[in-house]
Amino acid sequence: MKIEQIYTGCLAQGAYYIESEGEAVIIDPLREVQPYIQKAERNGAKIKYVLETHFHADFVSGHLDLSKKTGTPIVYGPNAKPDFDFYSAKDGEELKVGKLTIQVLHTPGHTMESTCYLLKDAQQKPVGLFSGDTLFIGDVGRPDLAQKVKADLTQEVLASNLFDSLRNKIMTLPDDVIVYPAHGAGSACGKNMSKETTDTLGNQKKTNYALRADMTKEEFIKEVTDGLVAPPAYFPLNVMLNIQGYESIDTVLERGLKALSPKAFEAAATETGAVVLDVRHAQVFAQGFVPNAINIGIDGQFAPWVGALIPDIRQEILIIAEPGTEEEVVTRLSRVGYDHVIGYLEGGVEAWKNAGFELDSIKSIDAAELAAIQQQQPDIRILDVRKKSEHFSEHVINAENAPLDTVNDAMSALDKEATYYVHCAGGYRSMIFTSILRSRGFSNLVDVKGGFKAIKESGLFSVSDYVCPSTML
């Protein structure tokens, strides 16, 4: 028996490869499916099933491409009605994979089609629960996403279903069953996920707030729905792609990996209205970039931030990347449904410069420089673009809070002529924020290298650790 968690950090997502006696199963595959196929081929195994735990909101699954390339059936649990051929498994049904058995457990709540898969060994002993977004380590799936697709499903109705699913289908399983969830810390599909990506069910019963034995349904609904922030705008769009279908990843890559000379790149940007997306490291970007490009670094939570800040997944995109990384960029965009990359700048920014085209730059200073400026000008405006919860927890005295995910609202509250010193936690989000506003005519924003971490460690600033009314939005 082989169980492998294939974890993708930028999406905080876990896909799974299970193998026994020359047969394999893939659970919740990512968009690029060739690695799964190659893994099975190396092991001399045939992929028998593609199992989907639900219609994912935070990424586009690779179920369709994997099924087409291998001739393998796609399996959903009850209530799933996608627009393509699939096998609808019944609650309690058992699927055989070599000497193993996978039992279908319909667990509505996160979504109404949500299904967990219970793995049993050759002796029929339960050994693993592939829990999708129903049960995470430290949390459960948020019950407000399905209502974005179907309005009559309120979060209270979904939470009520989730309570019943957890109590009746999952908490009755043996304590030594290993929980294999679809996500970990960093995913927007829950609010309190652990950095650990597996655990025993018994330990989760002791430590997961949502599995308390003495919790009433009313208490569960209140706690699970309390504090939910609005999901990224691309979530319902990804759900529809997972239900209705999408272009092959091969087509997406062929279109996106079109090398454009600086002249052709400039023409494409002008003629198509494409977003120019520079994915280099924030500080490299700051030193010189194509005018009006926005920076979302490939080295951070790249795909989720693209999804949060480019609201239309059909938006055409032009890529600027370090030479040799373009395929990775197009692939990672496709994971969240951004399939309309139309090319990249061949040779990168260096080629742009050598061709005689203009470069823009963003001033970036360290914490010591910021302190020196503040000493001379006590009333400087410091802009904290972290989440409200981060800002409220601890922040520079008198800093204004304008979370990155509300950048469009922030523009109307900012003075275009004023100078702002922009920071986040470590420097990734602040450059995104500054580059977006720079592309829209804000020329007086200064980035603070190293963010709040560097500011606090410098010891040069007064820092508050309590809530204060310093939020702009």
Contact call for residues 258 and 311 (beta carbons, < 8 A)? no
Which domains are seen in the chain, by residue range?
2-237 (3.60.15.10), 247-354 (3.40.250.10), 364-464 (3.40.250.10)
pLDDT computed for residue 411 by the predictor: 86
Distance in angstroms (rounded) separating the CA atoms of residues 386 and 349: 29
Q: Which residues contact 461 (CB under 8 A, 6 or more apart)?
A: 367, 371, 374, 396, 397, 455
- Burial letters for 88-102: b for 16+ Cβ neighbours within 10 Å, e otherwise? ebeeebebebbebbb
Write down the pTM of the prediction: 0.91
Distance in angstroms (rounded) separating the CA atoms of residues 364 and 322: 21
Provide the 10 A C-beta neighbour count for residue 398: 15
Contact call for residues 227 and 143 (beta carbons, < 8 A)? no
Q: 447 is written with which tokens?
A: 């980035």
Q: Which of 345, 276, 332, 339 is nearest to 301 (CA)?
A: 332
pLDDT computed for residue 188 by the predictor: 85
Q: Which residues contact 307 (CB under 8 A, 6 or more apart)?
A: 58, 232, 233, 234, 235, 238, 313, 336, 337, 338
Distance in angstroms (rounded) separating the CA atoms of residues 347 and 356: 14
DSSP class of residue 289?
A: B
Distance in angstroms (rounded) separating the CA atoms of residues 447 and 424: 9
Distance in angstroms (rounded) separating the CA atoms of residues 86 and 204: 33
In order along its 473 residues, the chain shows pLDDT tens digits of 999 999 998 889 999 999 999 999 999 999 999 999 999 999 999 999 999 999 999 999 999 999 999 999 999 999 999 999 999 999 999 999 999 999 999 999 999 999 999 999 999 999 999 999 999 999 999 999 886 556 578 999 999 999 999 999 999 999 999 999 999 998 888 888 999 999 999 999 999 999 999 999 999 999 999 988 888 889 999 999 999 999 999 999 999 999 999 999 999 999 999 999 999 999 999 999 999 999 999 998 898 899 989 989 999 999 999 999 999 999 999 999 999 999 999 999 999 999 999 999 999 999 999 999 999 999 999 999 999 989 999 999 999 999 999 898 888 889 999 999 999 999 999 999 999 999 999 999 999 999 999 999 999 888 886 554 455 55
Q: Which of 157, 129, 147, 159 is nearest to 5 (CA)?
A: 129
Distance in angstroms (rounded) separating the CA atoms of residues 64 and 50: 9
pLDDT computed for residue 397 by the predictor: 92
Q: 239 is written with which tokens?
A: 């759900």
Tokens 């319909």 sit at which residue? 106
Distance in angstroms (rounded) separating the CA atoms of residues 75 and 88: 6
